[in-house]
Amino acid sequence: MLIRISLILAIIAALAAGTLNILLVRDKITTLISQRDDERGKKQQALSDLSKARTDLTKSQDALKQTTQDLTDAKSERDKAVVTATAQTKRADELSDKLAKTTQERDDSQTKLAAYVATGMSADQVGKLSRALKESQEAVAAITEENVVLQRAKARLQTRLDMYEGTNNFVVKLRADLRGKILVVDPKWDFVVLNIGQDQGVLENGELLVSREGRLVAKVIVRSLEKNRCIANVVPGWKLGEVIEGDEVSPAYPAS
């Protein structure tokens, strides 16, 4: 009987030990599964972060390439503007010298004509001198007009050059006596057409104040130029009232 009891107790003890081991193993398995899932989540997050980092790196590389290309284009445009401005300056200087020479020749012809008339020269001689004087005057007028055109072109190129080499505070200065009116208004896209252009001294990116009866209405900036008119956009934050046809414009930054 005692042996039977001992065997039953041994069996019960073994079962208890087995149950305890099963519980311990199950807890360990649960812990391992939790650790595995946590490691898997961290791995997936790391892979996601790596993919995002690669995407951001690709975007940064593309942006760097675009910025480099834009810088190269800007330098090329600046170099072209410098070359053109140099050529225009040289041409303007040559015309100025030619104008001074022609003007002197005209003055000399006038002096000689007056002297010959006073001395009683023949009509043929006076006619020749008159024709020479007229030709000199026409040459002076043509050179003067060409010189004005070149000076305007030089001013436009100098402005573009200053924009490329200047700071963010750079402003385009326009003729102090420049005046114009608005011909067309597009309220949807906030642009206007003015009755002044290159021939009147308007420069690209020049800013003009729009006024009506002495009251400031808005400020516009020139975006497109033609000989006798231009197109300008209303500057954001400067629209104090509705712009209408007939409003007057004047330089926001007049040249001294």
pLDDT digits (tens, 9 = 90+) for 84-112: 878 888 887 888 888 888 888 888 777 77
> Taking the CA of residue 37 as centre, how many other CA atoms within 13 Å lie in the half-sphere pointing to its CB?
5
Q: What is the pLDDT of residue 212?
A: 95
Look up the pTM and report it. 0.42
Q: What is the pLDDT of residue 150?
A: 67
Encode pLDDT of 213-251 as tens digits.
999 999 999 999 999 999 999 999 999 999 999 999 999
Query: Does the pLDDT of residue 81 top 70, yes or no?
Result: yes
| Mean pLDDT (whole number) for 4-22 | 68
Q: What is the pLDDT of residue 131?
A: 76
More confident residue, 5 or 194: 194
Q: What is the pLDDT of residue 120?
A: 61
| Mean pLDDT (whole number) for 26-34 | 75
Q: What is the pLDDT of residue 97?
A: 84
Encode pLDDT of 150-183 as tens digits.
666 666 666 666 656 555 556 888 989 999 999 9
Q: What is the pLDDT of residue 172?
A: 86
